[in-house]
Structure 1
Amino acid sequence: MIEHIRVDEAIFELRPDFAVLVMTAHGMKNGPTDERARGWLAEASAHAVQTEKIDAWKDAYRAFGAKPQRTRPSVDALTRRLPLPEINRIVDAYNSVSVTHALPIGGEDLDQYSGPARLIRAIGDEAAEEEALGTPEPGEVIWRDDLGVTCRRWNWRQGARTRLTEETDNGLFLLERLEPMTMEELKVAGEELAELLTELSPGVRITSRVISAGN
């Protein structure tokens, strides 16, 4: 599965500095937020907001016609909700890494996917699976699978179908990087997320790869 996830060349034409660390985690054990997860959230919430990284995402949104003050990049929206809200242990884990590194991270239920995830620019006729998600505009950056849109405006709003819940066994995580974040910091963030997932689920099996321009 992970080797078939792809980023369309049109994305790199829009932002040559884009890279995504794709991670799958099989055999996860989730549950309601506990004291351990609360500690992760509190530590992340204490970090200074890294505005230059968030500003890079706002620029990326403007490049495909979105208005980031109305539809905010996910990490921008998170930092405006500090202290971080409690969702469930796995979502808490990736939200804490997201805010710590000012890095948009999507968490998805891998078993709800039909075909591989891919990041493309919409042509405007993509099916609107959910009324709340709406229909993408032509040129909009979206994640999708064979059934339809899984996340609109790069990382603004995720669809309900693939949302990670307390019942999720197998997860897909998308860690999305733009400069000024370095590729080394992207790697470190991925390692931190893998450590938290392993702490929550000692038997979890994690696989990852980085997709960037030219590879």
Structure 2
Amino acid sequence: MPDPSQTRFLASARVAPEVFALRPDYRVLLMAADGIEPGPSAPDDEKLMVAAEDAAAQTLADRPFTEVPHVAAWREAYRAFGAKPQRTRNSLEALMRRAATGLPRVNRLTDAYNAISVLHQVPLGGEDLACYQGAPQLIRATGAEPFDTIADGAPVVENPDPGEVVWCDDAGVTCRRWNWRQGRRTALTDTTTSAVFILDALDPMSDDALRAAADGLAKELERLGSNVTVASRVISAA
């Protein structure tokens, strides 16, 4: 049963009207999870990762990355706010490109959501809920918002481009260019016990397919602890 604090956190999340004006077909499913028991990658996680790598290989057996429908839709969305998809790839495309040589093995939590992203062909981000200051907000940036990241191996604070679509909280940007690069402040770690996941959908991905991806993620999260609780919410223009 979801914790009331999870439900309140999700209820406070918002997507700015300017984002829906850019892509009226956009939908996001936000999921909050608590009670996760951190740990290194395990045999069950390896099976899931291999299944995701095999699925990516099958998808790409008869087409290039650019012709995978949901990848192509996100490339169009990036162009709409001025990003160059050849240089800044959406997270789904980036993972599918890596699948050919092996998805990264990080820890149980990160491995699970990366595998679900590839299996269901949906951009999917995971962040440490305990590090949030306020609720998630998807906005078009002014260009003044701080983004805590790493450049050339050192911590730096950058700023998004004006008009760029970014996820943020009250303290600054948590993910740049919709689903391109996550920040350092809210990043998942090997000790994360509560997390928020962001599943981004555009046409032609259906609402049923988005929900199936979320159900798959919830199932994997419930393996990561005996008292895991999960709550979710969909935000759309409708």
With the length of structure 2 as denominator, give the TM-score of the two structures. Answer: 0.87
Output the CA distance in 1 between the equivalents of 2:214 and 2:150.
33
- Which secondary structure does the structure 1 equivalent of 2:69 belong to? helix
Gaps of 5+ in 1: none
One-letter code aligned to 1:63: A
Counterpart among 75, 81, 91 of residue 58 in structure 1: 75
Output the CA distance in 2 between the equivalents of 1:208 and 1:55.
26
Counterpart among 165, 175, 178 of residue 154 in structure 1: 178
- The number of residues matched between the two structures is 214
Tell me which residue corresponds to 1:163: 187
Tell me which residue corresponds to 2:91: 74
After superposition, residues 169-188 of structure 1 pair within 5 angstroms as 169-188=193-212
Q: Answer yes or no: is 1:197 the counterpart of 2:221.
A: yes
One-letter code aligned to 1:185: A
Tell me which residue corresponds to 1:30: 38
Conserved 8 A contact 1:49-1:79: no
One-letter code aligned to 2:207: M
Output the CA distance in 2 between the equivalents of 1:153 and 1:200.
30
- Which secondary structure does the structure 2 equivalent of 1:30 belong to? coil
Conserved 8 A contact 1:103-1:176: yes
Residue 131 (structure 1) shift: 5.3
Counterpart among 181, 202, 210 of residue 234 in structure 2: 210
Tell me which residue corresponds to 1:122: 141
Output the CA distance in 1 between the equivalents of 2:124 and 2:59.
16
With the length of structure 1 as denominator, give the TM-score of the two structures. Answer: 0.96
Residue 199 (structure 1) shift: 1.2
Residue 155 (structure 1) shift: 0.6
Gaps of 5+ in 2: 1-8, 61-67, 152-156
Q: Answer yes or no: is 1:6 the counterpart of 2:14.
A: yes
Tell me which residue corresponds to 1:91: 110
% identity of equivalent residues:
49
Conserved 8 A contact 2:52-2:116: yes
Conserved 8 A contact 2:147-2:158: yes
Describe the superposition over 1:118-139 as per-residue Cα deviations: whole angstroms up to 9, x where unpaired. Answer: 0000011112433536310010
Q: Answer yes or no: is 1:21 the counterpart of 2:29.
A: yes
One-letter code aligned to 1:65: G
Conserved 8 A contact 2:34-2:229: yes
Over alpha carbons, which structure has the higher Rg?
2
Output the CA distance in 2 between the equivalents of 1:127 and 1:21.
25
